Amino acid sequence: GYVAMRQGALEDADAFLSKAIAIDPKEVTPLRNRGILRAHAGKLRDGYVDLVSALMLAADDVEALKDLARIYDRAGHRADAV
């Protein structure tokens, strides 16, 4: 999924990451990456859900925290981003 995302094949990346999540829902990396992907695609709510889910599994995931802050910022909730 990550490679497809980097190559710009966003629909393929979403499908691959969703399959990885279905196989192992407790794995943080695909959740985080799908959250990032969806947020970049303008699906802020879906990205938010994935990133919060990733943080519920790994509260110290710095990348997920940074990307969640970016979603808050893009949604106009800058106070929540800090």
pLDDT tens string for the chain (82 positions)? 766 777 777 788 999 999 999 999 999 999 999 999 999 899 999 999 999 999 999 999 999 999 999 998 888 877 665 5
CA 65 – CA 51 distance, rounded (Å)? 8
CA 24 – CA 41 distance, rounded (Å)? 24
pLDDT for 38 equals 94
Residue 77, number of CB atoms within 10 A of its CB = 11
pLDDT for 39 equals 92
Q: What 8-state DSSP symbol labels residue 9?
A: -
